[in-house]
Amino acid sequence: MDMTVRPRRLRKSDTLRRMVRETRMDKSSLIYPLFVKEGSQVEEEIPSMEGQYRYSIDRLPFELERLLKAGVDKVMFFGIPDVKDEVGSQAYAENGIVQRALREARKQFPEMYLITDVCMCEYTSHGHCGVLCGHDVENDKTLELLAKTALSHVEAGADMVAPSDMMDGRVGAIRRLLDENGHKDTPILSYAVKYASAFYGPFREAAGSAPSFGDRKSYQMDFHNRREGIKEALLDVQEGADIIMVKPALSYLDVIREVKERIQLPVAAYSVSGEYAMVKAGAKLGYIDEEKIVCEMAVSTYRAGADIYLTYFAKELAKFMDEGRIG
């Protein structure tokens, strides 16, 4: 055979394949989502997310320790309050669950980078991501509360805040309030490109945040749309976002790629609860190889353009990277 170009030449050995790899990953880009709740000695497994737990503040240090040991030094806190009301007042309470978790984590683990999810849905009695006017989520009134929540997180020790509510103008509102209070250097990771997705199902069970009526389609995006995602990302850039997130990850790789090409900011992707639950369930049934699937999902997300990866598999991925199985 007279053939000069043979792509297989570079696939001959593991050494060669590693040398020519186009996607490389690093543990420093992993963020682990963590649920904190009221009470003491609580470490309860989330039924739809085997291997994931809700922790009370006194048990939180054990998990943070395990994360640091694995080489994961960034977490995203989600709070599960005992009391919910119409206006989600525990979201911005001085002694709210996330605020106390932050103080504790800050004190015990100064090396841990603490990010908080800023949203109302875990705190409102109706489960929507903002305050209501009738059955409508009131955009502009919600902005004040989101900004207040973000500020209270930063004052309790958050290094970065991540608004996930999808109200219009929230990045700008948060940026302004943080700046006015001397937090000019605290970055905002915006869930800018967040779709109304069935992949959040297990999370809503985990956080008890399913809406009591209707759905989130009047604020989260329609998953038929890609250009709209770019519009949202560009708006958040203008409002002062520092990092743009696409969520979910697996079904949205095209969106990640496009955001990466169009936006001059780091891009994060969130592999959400439904992605985690599907892998766990499939592996348990013996239909798929969990480790290989987790690695392939992660690599494809980075290959699509993600610089930062939020995943419930962060500890496992860190280990796979250490062992040279991916990366």
Residue ranges in contact with ligand PBG by CB under 6 A: 117, 119, 121, 129, 164, 200, 203-204, 216, 272-273
For the bound state, the minimum distance from the C-beta of residue 84 to ligand PBG, rounded and expressed in Å, comes to 14
For the bound state, the minimum distance from the C-beta of residue 20 to ligand PBG, rounded and expressed in Å, comes to 34
For the bound state, the minimum distance from the C-beta of residue 180 to ligand PBG, rounded and expressed in Å, comes to 25
Among 201, 247, 250, 272, which residue's Cα sits nearest to residue 48? 201
Catalytic residue among 247, 260, 280, 315: 247
Contact 325, 298 (CB under 8 A): no
CB nearer to ligand PBG: give 61 or 211.
Answer: 211
Task: Give the angle subtended at the CA of 210 by the CAs of 204 and 212, to the nearest 5°.
Answer: 170
Catalytic residue among 194, 260, 280, 315: 194
Dist. CA 97–CA 207, nearest whole Å: 13
CB nearer to ligand PBG: give 175 or 247.
Answer: 247
Please indicate whether residue 194 is annotated as part of the active site.
Answer: yes
For the bound state, the minimum distance from the C-beta of residue 35 to ligand PBG, rounded and expressed in Å, comes to 10
Dist. CA 140–CA 170, nearest whole Å: 9
Dist. CA 159–CA 98, nearest whole Å: 13
Rg, C-alpha atoms of the chain: 20
CB nearer to ligand PBG: give 270 or 327.
Answer: 270
Please indicate whether residue 27 is annotated as part of the active site.
Answer: no
Q: Which residue is nearest to ligand PBG (CB)?
A: 203
CB nearer to ligand PBG: give 302 or 312.
Answer: 312
Dist. CA 38–CA 197, nearest whole Å: 28
Torsion of CA 72, 73, 78, 80, to 10 degrees: 90
Active site residues: 194, 247
